[in-house]
A and B are shown apart, each in its own frame.
Chain A
Amino acid sequence: MRILNILVICALVLAAAAVYKIKFDSTLQAARVAKLSNELRHERDAVAALRAEWAKLDTPARIEELAGRFLHLQPVKATQFDTFDNLPMRPPAQPAGSDAIGAMLAPSSPATTGSLPAAPAQR
């Protein structure tokens, strides 16, 4: 009976110590959570402020003014657009190792112009 009592008292002390430890840890964790969420809020506000500034720097009015000052570009004309249908076909792949430019330079090779190979080569 006495042994049982001592055991119970020991268990009580241990339990109290464990509860204290858990409580202490949880307080620490809670403080950390509060700190982190506070930091998160600040970061989010900072991101929002930066985004607002970015949007302000990115306004068409400012970009146009900067482009006018530093770039010598002109507005795109409608004639400068073209469709994919009007693109020339890609030349057939040269076998690896062959020197296409060297072959062109060689006097014996048939004359080719531009990116299009000569007619016989296409077949």
Chain B
Amino acid sequence: MAARAKTPESRWQRSLRSLLYGRNVDREVKAKARLGLAILAFAGIYGVIALRLVMFAMASSEHGDHRTVTQDAVATARPDILDRNGATLATDVKAPSLYAEPRKLIDIDDAEEQLTATLPDLESKELRERLASKRGFIWLKRDITPKQQREIHQLGIPGIGFLTENKRVYPNAATVSQVIGLVNIDNQGIAGMEKWLDGQGLAALHMAGLATDRLQRPVQLSLDLRAQYAMRDELIKAREKFKAKAAAGLILNVNTGEVVALVSEPDYDPNNPREANDPTRINRLTTGVFEMGSTFKVLTVAMALDSGKATLKSMFDASHPLHYGRFAIHDYEPKGRALSVPEIFTYSSNIGAARMALAVGVEGHQAFLRKMGQLDRLRTELPESAEPLIPKHWGELNTVTIAFGHGLSVAPLQAAMGIAAAVNGGLLIKPTFLKRSREEALKIAQRVLKPETSKDMRYLMRLNAEKGTASFANVPGYYIGGKTGTAEKVINGRYAKHKLLTDFMAILPADKPQYLLMIMLDEPQGTPETHGFATAAWNTGPTAAKVIARVGPLLDLEPRFDLPKADQLILAKAVESR
């Protein structure tokens, strides 16, 4: 009794103890109890073993899968890239690659001879060195043809094998190269939208070895392949005709900020990555910064109208060149009198634009351009972007020159964004290369101008196409409006008279803009047809007209004829709605 008090045992333990060791218990009962315990123990052990077996049986199939996956797809899969109508711009195909395991090779000389006989572009000396190394695994040649694979397979060299890899192909070659970019041999994006894709978590998937499935959701861009092709075709022709160093074009949906077409000639074939490294083939619309010339007057006039410092009826003195220290601002075609705002716009008067900017003042000018997104780096999905070049000390002289587009270099896409805001009702919408709806665009849009200012700007743009410098861009049926710009390029810190950058911004249709078209030519030359002129009205204007005639039907723009003049159609409407 004393022992029981010392160690408190449960009834079950007590009965078990007395059953196994107790003197008072019958031998037979004791033996049975011991036997039962042994059976229980064995049953438990076998149960565990059976359970483990079941678990192994279930897990084994997964192991098998893992092996096939690693054999397959070393360079991992990427999602397809489609245009806005679903046409394929980039896709993956499987291609075999040749590898060797030098440790398993028996006769290096024999292997080298046979391989160079089948693949003549393998360097025999280098191949021998690589095969002689004691490495576990080396690539011999990536991306071989199925025929070569069959031939090498039939050689039956031990230690030589094939892996199927994903290879990126771009069916449209150079047409869309500036937007989608390209990948390296390991299928990692190194430029354009391909690089952006990697930044969207694809790179992490690659690291984890998970992105092997080709069932990834395709990415749909805002580009329209047909418009893109038509634009590129016309730009190549224009570049040849005017012997320009480069040509670039952009179609921007002003209501959603979608880039429908973006061409920068010369471009490259992403299937041939060697071309892509050539610095002359950069995307001039996002990676280059330029002084945009007179197209910047759109922003200057919009600023003056929006601030209330001017109305369409205001007059500004343009009778004499504007003197600033040792600088004098001239007009291209001096009129020698005071000009109204529509006259300043259609004659593209530098003096008038400068006086309008001075009326707003230096600080107001800076604040306005910042609000319009012209002073900060514009970041889109494309990884390549450029910082605008802003004068270090922004004085009155800077405001004067920036008013007509000199002294401030911006990315052309950035300028297009600002001008789109000036005509679309006053909403600044960041451009995108992905499909976007009007609702999504409205969510990120910022109001930068009054709707009335925007209406006045549409009127001025249309007026310019009716009787101003943009009249060469007129296409019957499409009620376009536009503004030309010609800037002298800065060479060694001085403006060069005969090295021009010409650009043209068109809105179509001008009464209710849907698209902004920009054409830019780098150093165009005069031709007999243009009477030797190399300014924007003579080269980018007619090029824009050709592009509009081809692209208009593709973009669902309804041709309309017998429309009234700008002052009736746009201004009268503006009065009504006020």
A-side residues, CB < 8 A to B, are 30, 34, 38, 41, 44-45, 48-49, 51-52, 54-56, 58-61, 64, 75-79, 81, 83
Residues in chain B near residue A78, CB distance under 8 A = 475-478, 549, 552-553, 559
In the assembled complex, the CB of B467 is this many whole angstroms from the nearest CB of chain A, namely 21
Q: Is B33 positioned at the interface, with any CB of A under 8 Å from its CB?
A: no
Contact indicator B92/A61 (Cβ below 8 Å)? no
Q: Is B87 positioned at the interface, with any CB of A under 8 Å from its CB?
A: yes
Assembled-state Cα–Cα distance A104/B384 (Å)? 72
Assembled-state Cα–Cα distance A45/B61 (Å)? 23
Interface centre among A34, A49, A55, A61 (most CB of B within 10 A): A55
A79 in contact with B91 given A44-B214, A48-B214 (CB within 8 Å): no
In the assembled complex, the CB of A45 is this many whole angstroms from the nearest CB of chain B, namely 5
A30 in contact with B171 given A55-B87, A78-B475 (CB within 8 Å): no
Number of interface residues of B (CB under 8 A): 32
Residues in chain A near residue B64, CB distance under 8 A = 34
Assembled-state Cα–Cα distance A64/B171 (Å)? 15
Q: Is B225 positioned at the interface, with any CB of A under 8 Å from its CB?
A: yes
Q: Mark B69-106, 1 if CB is under 8 A from A, else 0.
A: 00010000000000000011001111000000000000
Which residue of the partner chain B has the closest CB to A50? Answer: B93
Assembled-state Cα–Cα distance A79/B560 (Å)? 9
Contact indicator A79/B559 (Cβ below 8 Å)? yes
Contact indicator B93/A81 (Cβ below 8 Å)? no
Contact indicator A60/B175 (Cβ below 8 Å)? yes
Assembled-state Cα–Cα distance A79/B171 (Å)? 34
30 A-B residue pairs with Cβ-Cβ distance under 8 Å, sorted by A, are A34-B64, A34-B68, A38-B68, A41-B72, A45-B93, A48-B91, A48-B94, A49-B94, A51-B91, A52-B88, A52-B91, A52-B93, A55-B87, A56-B171, A58-B87, A60-B225, A60-B226, A60-B229, A60-B230, A61-B172, A61-B173, A64-B229, A64-B233, A75-B549, A78-B478, A78-B552, A79-B477, A79-B559, A81-B553, A83-B558
Assembled-state Cα–Cα distance A48/B558 (Å)? 37
Q: Is B550 positioned at the interface, with any CB of A under 8 Å from its CB?
A: yes
In the assembled complex, the CB of A74 is this many whole angstroms from the nearest CB of chain B, namely 12
Q: Is B571 positioned at the interface, with any CB of A under 8 Å from its CB?
A: no
Contact indicator B175/A61 (Cβ below 8 Å)? yes
Contact indicator A52/B559 (Cβ below 8 Å)? no
Residues in chain A near residue B559, CB distance under 8 A = 78-79, 81
Q: Kindly list 14 other residue pairs between chains A and B, CB separation below 8 angstroms, not including A34-B68, A79-B476.
A: A38-B68, A48-B214, A52-B91, A56-B169, A58-B87, A58-B171, A59-B171, A60-B226, A64-B233, A76-B553, A77-B549, A78-B475, A79-B477, A79-B561
Assembled-state Cα–Cα distance A75/B230 (Å)? 12
Residues in chain B near residue A44, CB distance under 8 A = 214
Residues in chain A near residue B558, CB distance under 8 A = 81, 83
Which residue of the partner chain A has the closest CB to B77? Answer: A48
Contact indicator B475/A51 (Cβ below 8 Å)? no
Interface centre among B92, B94, B475 (most CB of A within 10 A): B94
Which residue of the partner chain A has the closest CB to B478? Answer: A78
In the assembled complex, the CB of B57 is this many whole angstroms from the nearest CB of chain A, namely 8
